[in-house]
Amino acid sequence: MSAAAEAVAPAADPPAELLVRAGQLTALRLFDIAYAIDLRKAEALWAARAPRAGERRGLTGTPPKAMSFGDPPLILPLPPVRLPLGDGGAEAQVTARIYDFGVVSLAVTLAVADLPWSGFAARANALQQAVGPGTAAGALWRDLLDAVRGPLREAIERPAQTHIEEDYLLAVVNRLEEPLSAEALLGRVDLIPLLTGESRPLSAGAQAELLRQRFSYYTDDLVVLTWDRAFLYEPRGDTDVRDVLEVANAQLLEMRFYDELLDAELPRIYDTVEAARRTPFLLSARRYARLARRLHGLVAEVTELTEHADNALQVTEDVYLARVYAAAMALFRVPVVGAAIDRKLATLRETYQALYDEAHSSRAELLEITVVLLITLEVVLSLVRH
């Protein structure tokens, strides 16, 4: 072909937009509602009052010896809800997961079928706008939480007075119009609008940072993590990665709860210590001892519950899921919050030790004064008798 013919030859048409044949979009909302929840009792209570029983199960695609829950959560089916998504609404399936360390995770899931990729991303953003934080969906989440909490009230230990929340969005593709490897998929679709909700182009650096946390085990699966969203390409339909991401969010929520609890408790403790130091000498030892016991109980309680949350998922042999789990924990800054809790617990332990030492010192001083007074009294009585 001549150069002139090449110059006028039409450019090749861009590949057609990829079609998502099957997938799901799941909005998670997690609440810390209690000190602890008795899962066996909760399962029995739910079975007695609900038409569909709950179930206790761990990861489905991973051997228990490789990765398992410390105590598998209780999974409860809830009635579907209708979501206003701007196109007449859509019905979403709802499930709840109950964790023994006091967290309830609610999942609202939309099934997706035969959508072009741009439509899939738009559907994910519409779901986030409909039920995400800062929207009018607060009443929906409260109603769903009440539907879980009401029947399980007797299994809930020390209900929380205020609720801390976390939210997360999962976009899952199970089947495309043609099988693709993870690398081919990344070359065919733009994940940025799906992962950020942004319509304007991002800089190359911002795009690279968003796609930095991505993982594959087989050639045809893919996980991309961000702070508040994740994309999962899972042709085999495994749910283990989804479950691991939910547990990481639950652990973040629990750590945040105890971090805020200690933030509120430390100033009150300092005020109480100062008040104890202004107590009359004869009563100070008792007040120091009482405050020291209170601090010791608080430290023991927070330590026990944070360790319980830390051990919610036990990783031994599954290297891939362990990498995803560790990346999610780091991305959610769970180790940072955990380190802050450890520092505050160390402060409480030091305060407890100082109070214990002061109480011991006060008792010793009181004993010395008593001995001196007794000796003085004995001397005075001896002089009086003579």
The H or E element containing residue 75 is strand 74-83
Give the separation between CA 289 and CA 5, rounded to whole angstroms.
Answer: 96
Among 66-75, 258-267, 279-288, name the most confident range.
Answer: 258-267
Mean residue pLDDT of the chain comes to 82
Q: What is the pLDDT of residues 34-43, one digit of tens each?
A: 888 999 999 9
pLDDT given at position 17: 84
Per-residue pLDDT, 116: 95
Alpha-carbon gap, residue 171 to 232, rounded angstroms: 6
CA distance 43 to 41: 5
Interval 79-117: pLDDT, tens? 999 988 866 778 999 999 999 888 999 999 999 999 999
Asked whether the predicted pLDDT for residue 282 surpasses 50, the reply is no
Task: List Cβ<8 Å contacts ≥24 apart for 266-274.
Answer: 266/344, 266/347, 266/348, 269/295, 269/348, 269/351, 273/351, 273/355
pLDDT of residue 381: 81
SS3 113: strand
Residue 57 · residue 72 · CB < 8 Å: yes
In the chain, which residue ranges form alpha helices assigned H by DSSP? 3-8, 39-49, 117-131, 138-149, 182-188, 192-196, 204-210, 240-277, 281-310, 319-331, 334-385
Tens of pLDDT, residues 122-154: 999 999 988 877 667 788 999 999 999 999 999
This prediction has a pTM of 0.81
Residue 270: count of CB within 10 angstroms of its CB:
12
Instruction: Give the burial string for 151-173 (b: 16+ CB within 10 Å, else e).
Output: bbeebbeeeeeebbebbbbbbbb
More confident residue, 195 or 13: 195
- How many C-beta atoms surround the C-beta of residue 57 within 10 A? 11
- Read off the tokens for 21: 């044949």
Report the amino acid identity of residue 172. V
Distance separating alpha carbons of residues 54 and 146, to the nearest angstrom: 17
Q: Which among 275, 270, 289 has a CA at the least distance from the CA of 366?
A: 289
C-alpha to C-alpha distance for 181 and 187, rounded to whole angstroms: 10
pLDDT in tens, 255-279: 888 888 888 877 777 776 666 566 5
Question: Stretch 200-211: mean pLDDT, rounded?
Answer: 87
Distance from C-alpha of 131 to C-alpha of 136, rounded to nearest angstrom: 7
Return the C-alpha torsion angle 98, 103, 108, 113, nearest 10: -70
Q: pLDDT-based confidence at 215, cuts 50/70/90? A: very high
What is the reported pLDDT for 228? 93
> Predicted confidence band at 287 (pLDDT cuts at 50, 70, 90)?
low
- What is the distance between the alpha carbons of residues 191 and 223, in angstroms, rounded to a whole number? 11
Phi, psi of 84 (to 5 degrees): -80, 100
Query: pLDDT tens for residues 331-380?
Result: 999 888 888 888 887 877 777 666 666 656 666 666 667 777 888 887 88
pLDDT at position 283: 46
SS3 state at 81: strand
